[in-house]
Amino acid sequence: MAGHRCIELVPQAVTVEVLDHLEQLALVDFRDAEGVERLRKAIQFADQLHEVNTDGVEPMDSVLEDRCLYLREDDVTEGNCANELLKNAREKVEEYFVAPPGNIPLPKLEERETFLKGS
Amino acid sequence: MKAAASLADLDTFAELGSVGSGQPLGVLDGIPIAVKDNFNTAGIETTCASNMLKGYISPYNATVVQKLLDQGAVLLGKTNLDEFAMGSGSTDGVFGPVRNPWSYSRQYKEKYVPKSFSEDGESNWVITGGSSGGSAAAVSSFTCFAALGSDTGGSTRNPAAHCGVVGLKPTYGLISRHGLIPLVNSMDVPGILTRCVDDAAVVLGSLAGHDPKDSTTIQDNFKPFELPDLPDVSKLSIGIPKEYQAPGLSSEILALWSKAADLFKHAGAKVTEVSLPHTRYSIVCYHVLCTAEVASNMARFDGLEYGHRSDMNKSTESMYAATRREGFNDVVRGRILSGNYFLLKQNYENYFIKAQKVRRLIANDFLKVFRSGVDILLTPTTLSDAVPYIEFLKEDNRTRSAQDDILTQAANMAGLPAINVPAALSERGLPIGLQFIGRSFQEKQLLTVAKWFEKQVKFPMIQLEEVKRHNHDVFQHQRSASFS
The residues spanned by each domain of chain B are 4-478
Contacts with A60 from chain B: Cβ below 8 Å: 356-357, 359-360, 363
The per-residue pLDDT for range B254-310, each reduced to its tens digit, is 999 999 999 999 999 999 999 999 999 999 999 999 999 999 999 999 999 999 999
B340: contact with A, CB 8 A cutoff? yes
Beta bridge partners of B41: B44
Dump pLDDT digits (tens) for A51-89. Answer: 999 999 999 999 999 999 999 899 998 888 999 999 999
Q: How many Å is the Cα radius of gyration of chain A? A: 22
Report the C-alpha gap between A95 and B43 in whole angstroms.
Answer: 21
Q: Which residues of B touch A23 (CB under 8 A)?
A: 321, 337
What dotted CATH number matches B4-478?
3.90.1300.10
Residue A40 belongs to some domain of the structure: yes
**Which phi and psi angles does B167 have, rounded to 5°?**
-130, 115
Are residues B357 and A58, on separate chains, in Cβ contact within 8 Å? yes
Burial string for B152-171 (b: 16+ CB within 10 Å, else e) reads: bbbbbbbbbbbbbbbbbbbb
pLDDT value at B20 more than 80: no
B42 touches chain A (CB under 8 A): no
pLDDT tier at B67 (50, 70, 90 boundaries)?
A: very high
Question: What average pLDDT is seen over chain A?
Answer: 84
pLDDT at A100 over 70: yes
Domain that holds residue A12: 1-50
Convert the pLDDT of each residue in B71-85 to its tens digit: 999 999 999 999 999
Percent of chain B with pLDDT over 90: 85
Residue B3 pLDDT > 70, yes or no?
no
Predicted local distance difference test score (pLDDT) of residue A14: 84
Beta-bridged to residue B166, according to DSSP, are B194
Quick one: CA torsion of B330, B333, B339, B342, rounded to 10 degrees? Answer: -80
The pLDDT assigned to B400 comes to: 84
pLDDT band for position A104 (50/70/90)?
confident
Digit-coded pLDDT (tens) for B182-235:
999 999 999 999 999 999 999 999 999 999 999 999 999 999 999 999 999 999
For the segment B130-146, the average pLDDT, to the nearest whole number, is 97
Facing A48 at nearest CB: one of B281, B322, B344:
B281
Residue to mutate among B278, B284, B323, B367, with most A CBs inside 10 A, is B284
Looking at the predicted structure, is the pLDDT value of residue B8 above 80? no
Question: Which amino acid is present at B362?
Answer: I
Other C-beta atoms within 10 Å of B14: how many?
A: 11
Closest residue in chain B to residue A85, using alpha carbons only:
B59
A34 occurs within a structural domain? yes
Question: What pLDDT, in 10s, does the model give residues B402-429?
Answer: 888 999 999 999 999 999 999 999 999 9
Distance separating alpha carbons of residues B211 and A109, to the nearest angstrom: 46
Number of domains in chain A: 1
Minimum Cα–Cα distance from B293: chain A residue: A61
Residue B394 has pLDDT above 80, yes or no: yes
pLDDT at residue B6, as a whole number: 54
Instruction: Give the model's pLDDT for residue A61.
Output: 96
A21-25, A32-36, B334-338, B355-359: which has the minimum mean pLDDT? A32-36
Confidence at residue B384, expressed as pLDDT on a 0 to 100 scale: 97
Q: Supply the mean pLDDT for chain B.
A: 91
Contact B363 A101 (CB under 8 A): no
Confidence of residue A30 (pLDDT cuts 50, 70, 90): confident
Identify whether the C-beta of residue B91 lies closer than 8 Å to the C-beta of residue B389: yes
Kindly list the residues from chain B whose CB atom is less than 8 angstroms away from the CB atom of residue A67: 173, 218
**Which pLDDT score is estimated for A47?**
97
B41–chain A nearest CA distance, Å: 14
Q: Is the pLDDT of residue B14 over 70?
A: no
Of B56, B295, B302, the CB nearest to A88: B56
Distance from B184 to chain A by nearest Cα, in Å?
Answer: 11
3-state secondary structure of B188: coil
State the catalytic residue, choosing from B50, B58, B88, B131: B131
**Which of B216, B284, B312 lies nearest to residue A48, judging by beta carbons?**
B284
pLDDT number for residue A34: 86
Distances (CA, A) of A32 to A13, A29, B204, B326: 19, 8, 45, 15
Q: Is A83 inside any structural domain?
A: no
